[in-house]
Chain A
Amino acid sequence: MANKALTRTDNPTASSPTPAVAMTRRGLLGISLGAAAAFALAACGSESGASAAGGRITWAWQLPTTWDPVTSSAGSDVQMLALVYEGITGLDEKGNPVPWLAEKWTYDPAGTQVTFTLKKDLRFSDGTPLDATAVAKSIERGRTADGSLIAPQMIGITTVTASGDLDVVLDLAEVDYQIPALFAGKTGMVVNPAAFEKDPASLATAPAGSGPFSLTTFVENDHAELVKNSHFQLAEDIQVDEFHLYPQPDPATAVASVQSGQYNVARISGAQVEQAEQAGLDVQILDSMFVSCLDVHAGMKPFDDPAVVEALKYGIDREKIKKVANFDIGDVNYQPFPKGYVGYNPELEGIYDYDPEKAKQVLAEAGHTGTVKGEFTSAQPVAAVELIQAQLKEVGIELTIKSIPATQHTQLVYIEHSQALTYDGFAGRESPVQAFQVLFGKEGLMNPGRRTDPALEAQLKKVRATPTDDPAYPAILQEATKIAITSFPNTFLYNAPRIIVRKKVSELPASPSLQRFEGVTTS
């Protein structure tokens, strides 16, 4: 064979088509088998999920109401906004504030001034420096901009100033150690001043932040296309080049849409888990702050009677609801914080365990001899609503289900507070005090009766006045939880984790607050 090869080399101009290596039948077979084996190995490699940098996450999740954190009107927007913005702080798994854009923060001894010290060399996605001046301007805009929906949360901040390139100093009207936690969410998301000083309205469709991705295309109510932001502080940990965001698909088609490759990640409900697993897709259950609950209007009949509210709390079999409505995924809960969260009070475990006899007794003792009638509002017909209706009927509370269009839910429930009882869900807030304000505050969205409790107000004042790293802080916060749960009509049912289905996308990092994408790869 070597001779023949040499012959060819010796006579390069030879016109003979005979190859230098004579291709015997066996040789051809060997090469074919080798090539086939190589292709097969390569194919196996890609099927087995070998990951590589690059690729695209196409997530059927949700589109935000706006890309401007200052005017965003939905609590759940924070997840989508975190793709393009970064908070000044972050949260750990217990809900405690941790450094993010700020590497540290310090309070003065009186607790009325807090200084955030930024990390060095931070940049917005357009490459401009993200320094103390930019952060101060961004916070100031959140406090003062027309139509700002985060301004009420910053009412205690009197002045915001930049000190040097890295320090942002906030003066507070009164002691408030909750500011770092508050800045882990929309309130602390830093918007590039270059964008809002030029055209603030443009932020609704063209966000300008420093998050892991930058928006390139946004088609309202349809989809958003984002690309990796090379200026992101953890850019080397972002393994995908593109992120396409779509609204959540219809439950009936969610799994099929991932299976077909239309999306490679989608949120699903408990009912679709089995289908997804049968389809060979990866199902991941991620802890979340979401708790399913009932908004009870204590100023409307029949819930203006505390006995009816008490009977309501005892008359619901939460375990059954979780089992039937969410296919046993999640944890029964009687409070707004998930187990393990700093505000979770273990004393409240089982406080309103299902006890239909007690519910009947409470009603009887209050003089309700007949059936108590009322309305039960829901934005969509869900199994939980029908289960609750049936369970309460057993104890003597007969509710008529009233479905309202999802588009009217916010207006009727959160703004007009015109519904006596509403099936709802609380997505959690970065600061526990903020969560209390939403659920139990005088202006709280999910406090339809607009009634508050002086004992809770006093306890929340103590919470604000206690540094989050103070050993006494958890106990003080948990006492506030106890006061709220025992004195307010809001009824909590169960924590519902996020269930996602993936195809050729690696496992997502677990994080109860914001979903992170560092280290996520596609294959």
Chain B
Amino acid sequence: MRTLKALWAQPASRFAFAILSVIAFLVVFGGAVAPYDPLRQFSDEVLQGPSAKHLLGTDYVGRDVLSRLLAGTRLSVVGALEAVVIAAVLGVPSGLASAWMGRIGEWVSLRIADTLIILPFTVFAIAVAGTIGNGLQQAMVAVGVLISPMFFRVTRAVALGLRRTQYVEAAELMGATQWWTLRKHIWSKVLPNVAVAAAQATGASLLVVASLSFLGIGVQPPTPTWGGMLSADLGYLAQQSWAPIFPALLMMATVGSLNILADGIRDAGSPRRRRPGLVARLHRKETIDVAA
């Protein structure tokens, strides 16, 4: 709760929250607030510019661009979240476990993480889609697996530090089980770091989902997604050079907000980062005293 309050105290975080709230609203209600069915083709109004009828114009088969943007938010964001959840499920428990495992287990888990880190997202996702079928779920599993080392490393780094603290050692000496120690002493310290990683990973996977849609992998047409719209728009730059701006802006705003939020969580959760506020206050008081 204290972390959340500290987060809310930051103007940048409030701004990011505001944008992400809009995005969250669109994830839930985007299809409902869209002025038209995002799949409806106005076949006599192909590649039209913005007008009162179509505020952001129409696409290459005459669909309303605004409706597609709004309706496409759900799959674009949910796809990214799905990948992050998969990554967290794989990375966090294994990161915690590796801090408590013996040297062999530790070495093996680190080598697996190293191997996954060097695999390029897009190429791996294409390979997975080619092997087990082209679909959003398959692509997200691939992306989730590749993001999981990020969670593994963050969790492991924090857990290793906590493992050697005196209160953890004391708990172990008093006969606490590893599960109890993890639950009571480790998890609450690891969580803010996982939250930071999750915010960053969501932004990253949103871009990967968009890139994969751009390449025709993942969500299949005519279902709208931001990446898919961006890809299609590039084929009609001569007619609508401005069209890619809309999905790109939405992606930029979402990813930027997630990154700001990640920074905010990190700052809010770090005692060292909070302290300068106090020091600054004391310093200010000292300055006033001297001046007086």
Q: Which residues of B contact A509 (CB under 8 A)?
A: none
Please determine whether A274 and B129 come into contact, CB atoms closer than 8 angstroms. Answer: no
Contact of A324 among B62, B231, B237 (CB under 8 A): B62
Does B41 sit within 8 A of A, measured CB to CB?
yes
Q: How far is the CB of A486 from chain B (nearest CB, A)?
A: 29
Does B235 sit within 8 A of A, measured CB to CB?
yes
Does B19 sit within 8 A of A, measured CB to CB?
no
Does A272 sit within 8 A of B, measured CB to CB?
yes
Highest count of chain B CB atoms <10 Å: which of A252, A400, A404 = A252
Please determine whether B130 and A390 come into contact, CB atoms closer than 8 angstroms. Answer: no
Please determine whether A252 and B41 come into contact, CB atoms closer than 8 angstroms. Answer: no
Nearest residue (CB) in A for B40 is A390
Contact with A along B232-268 (1 / 0, CB 8 A): 1011111100000000000000000000000000000
Kindly specify which of B155-163, B170-178, B197-205, B216-224 makes contact with the partner chain.
Answer: B216-224
Cα–Cα distance between A278 and B241 once the two chains are bound (Å): 14
Please determine whether A381 and B216 come into contact, CB atoms closer than 8 angstroms. Answer: yes
Nearest residue (CB) in B for A381 is B221
Does A408 sit within 8 A of B, measured CB to CB?
yes
Contact of B60 among A324, A404, A407 (CB under 8 A): A324
Please determine whether B43 and A405 come into contact, CB atoms closer than 8 angstroms. Answer: no
Please determine whether A402 and B237 come into contact, CB atoms closer than 8 angstroms. Answer: no
Q: How far is the CB of A62 from chain B (nearest CB, A)?
A: 18
Given contacts A381-B216, A381-B232, contact A272 B43 (CB under 8 A): no
Please determine whether A271 and B129 come into contact, CB atoms closer than 8 angstroms. Answer: no
Please determine whether A401 and B222 come into contact, CB atoms closer than 8 angstroms. Answer: yes
Given contacts A381-B216, A402-B134, contact A252 B61 (CB under 8 A): no
A interface: dominant SS: helix
Please determine whether B41 and A401 come into contact, CB atoms closer than 8 angstroms. Answer: no
Q: How far is the CB of B60 from chain A (nearest CB, A)?
A: 5
Cα–Cα distance between A255 and B241 once the two chains are bound (Å): 14
Given contacts A274-B239, A386-B221, A390-B39, contact A405 B234 (CB under 8 A): no
Q: How large is the interface on B (under 10, 10 to 19, 20 to 34, 35 or more residues)?
A: 20 to 34
Given contacts A324-B46, A381-B216, contact A405 B237 (CB under 8 A): no
Does B126 sit within 8 A of A, measured CB to CB?
yes
Nearest residue (CB) in B for A255 is B238
Nearest residue (CB) in A for B126 is A405
Does A387 sit within 8 A of B, measured CB to CB?
yes
Does A361 sit within 8 A of B, measured CB to CB?
no
Q: Which residues of A contact B216 (CB under 8 A)?
A: 380-381, 403, 405
Q: Which residues of B contact A251 (CB under 8 A)?
A: 234-235
Given contacts A271-B235, A271-B238, A381-B232, contact A390 B134 (CB under 8 A): no
Q: Which residues of B contact A6 (CB under 8 A)?
A: none
Please determine whether B43 and A324 come into contact, CB atoms closer than 8 angstroms. Answer: yes
Given contacts A251-B235, A252-B234, A324-B61, contact A404 B43 (CB under 8 A): no
Given contacts A324-B62, A402-B134, contact A385 B237 (CB under 8 A): no
Cα–Cα distance between A271 and B232 once the two chains are bound (Å): 12
Nearest residue (CB) in A for B134 is A403
Contact with A along B125-140 (1 / 0, CB 8 A): 0100110001000000
Contact of B134 among A250, A255, A404, A407 (CB under 8 A): A404
Please determine whether B238 and A272 come into contact, CB atoms closer than 8 angstroms. Answer: yes
Q: Which residues of B contact A390 (CB under 8 A)?
A: 39, 41, 61, 222
Nearest residue (CB) in A for B60 is A383
Please determine whether A275 and B238 come into contact, CB atoms closer than 8 angstroms. Answer: yes
Does A498 sit within 8 A of B, measured CB to CB?
no
Please determine whether A271 and B61 come into contact, CB atoms closer than 8 angstroms. Answer: no
Please determine whether B222 and A389 come into contact, CB atoms closer than 8 angstroms. Answer: yes
Cα–Cα distance between A269 and B237 once the two chains are bound (Å): 12
Nearest residue (CB) in A for B130 is A405
Contact with B along A74-93 (1 / 0, CB 8 A): 00000000000000000000
Does A301 sit within 8 A of B, measured CB to CB?
no
Cα–Cα distance between A272 and B134 once the two chains are bound (Å): 29
Q: Which residues of A contact B228 (CB under 8 A)?
A: 381
Q: Which residues of B contact A402 (CB under 8 A)?
A: 134, 220
Cα–Cα distance between A387 and B228 once the two chains are bound (Å): 16
Cα–Cα distance between A390 and B234 once the two chains are bound (Å): 22
Q: Which residues of A contact B239 (CB under 8 A)?
A: 271, 274
Nearest residue (CB) in B for A324 is B46
Q: Which residues of A contact B222 (CB under 8 A)?
A: 386, 389-390, 401
Cα–Cα distance between A320 and B130 once the two chains are bound (Å): 33
Q: How far is the CB of B135 from chain A (nearest CB, A)?
A: 9
Q: How far is the CB of B233 from chain A (nearest CB, A)?
A: 9
Q: Which residues of B contact A324 (CB under 8 A)?
A: 43, 46, 60-62
Contact with A along B80-104 (1 / 0, CB 8 A): 0000000000000000000000000
Nearest residue (CB) in B for A254 is B238
Cα–Cα distance between A272 and B239 once the two chains are bound (Å): 8
Q: Which of A377-433 contact B (CB under 8 A)?
A: 380-381, 383, 385-387, 389-390, 400-405, 407-408
Please determine whether A252 and B235 come into contact, CB atoms closer than 8 angstroms. Answer: yes
Cα–Cα distance between A269 and B216 once the two chains are bound (Å): 19
5 tightest Cβ-Cβ pairs between the two chains A and B = A275-B238, A252-B234, A381-B221, A403-B216, A386-B222
24 A-B pairs with CB atoms under 8 Å apart are A251-B235, A252-B235, A269-B235, A271-B60, A271-B239, A272-B238, A320-B43, A324-B46, A380-B216, A381-B232, A383-B61, A386-B222, A387-B41, A387-B43, A390-B39, A390-B61, A390-B222, A401-B222, A402-B220, A403-B220, A405-B129, A405-B134, A405-B216, A405-B217
Known: A271-B235, A380-B216, A407-B130. 4 other contacts (CB 8 A): A271-B60, A383-B60, A401-B222, A405-B130
Chain A residues at the B interface, C-beta cutoff of 8 Å = 250-252, 255, 269, 271-272, 274-275, 278, 320, 324, 380-381, 383, 385-387, 389-390, 400-405, 407-408
Chain B residues at the A interface, C-beta cutoff of 8 Å = 39, 41, 43, 46, 60-62, 126, 129-130, 134, 216-217, 220-222, 228, 231-232, 234-239
